[in-house]
Amino acid sequence: MSLPVYVFSEDEYLFLKIRVLCEKEGWTPYRITKEEATLPLLVWDIDTSEGQKVFPALSHDKVILLSRDDIGNTARLPITNKSLLALLRGAEEGAPLTLDHAHRVAHIYGETIKLTELEGELLSYLISRGGECATNEELCAHLWGGQASASAVNVYIHYLREKLELRGEKVILVRRGKGYYIEPKFLKGGRTC
């Protein structure tokens, strides 16, 4: 089944880029010039030629917002093909983060991410917490039997963030004085600490 992708943008280059990526995936891109009532997937470039921002009503099933400015819940333009494809795949497949522990790969937004053994263990532990915080001490005890420093945890958190945060969205968050946790929207029914 072909995923219909509707693109609302004045940027010809951006539309062509989306069209090429969609066609490679077997999806059908459509360019629209006015907001439609409801669409299954809408890619909306909120920057207009007049330099103003136009925000959609968000009544659509799935919306991907693009902007040249750093605005919450928007992907930053210019965007790489890999990141744009991850956005489109994620809209098709859903956002939850999954981990195939046996093969040491994570899946997010339709992307498969290879992990090292320690990265896999760290991610597995954070996912198992269900959105609750895990302190540096807990993570050191779980990963290294207490034989490592907090800076080792910070380094591996950094590695995971680089691999998982394809859209620029924060997947692993930190709460001062409490620890690290997975953003609940990436967990099925997750909680926060």
Q: How does strand 105-108 pair with strand 98-100? A: antiparallel
Alpha helices in 30-116 (DSSP H): 81-93
Give domain limits for the chain: 4-93, 98-186
Question: What is the mean pLDDT for each group of 10 consecutive residues in the chain (193 residues)?
Answer: 70 85 82 61 63 55 66 66 68 66 79 88 88 90 85 91 82 90 72 41
CATH topology of domain 98-186: Arc Repressor Mutant, subunit A (1.10.10)
pTM over 0.85: no
Alpha helices in 66-109 (DSSP H): 81-93
In words, the CATH class of domain 4-93 is alpha beta
Alpha helices in 36-164 (DSSP H): 81-93, 117-128, 136-144, 150-164
From 96, 71, 80, 93, select the one nearest 182 (Cα to Cα).
Answer: 96
pLDDT at 99: 83
pLDDT at 191: 42
Would you state the torsion angle of the CA atoms of residues 9, 11, 15, 21, taken in this order, to the nearest 10 degrees? -120
Angle of the 150-164 helix axis to the 136-144 helix axis, nearest 10: 90
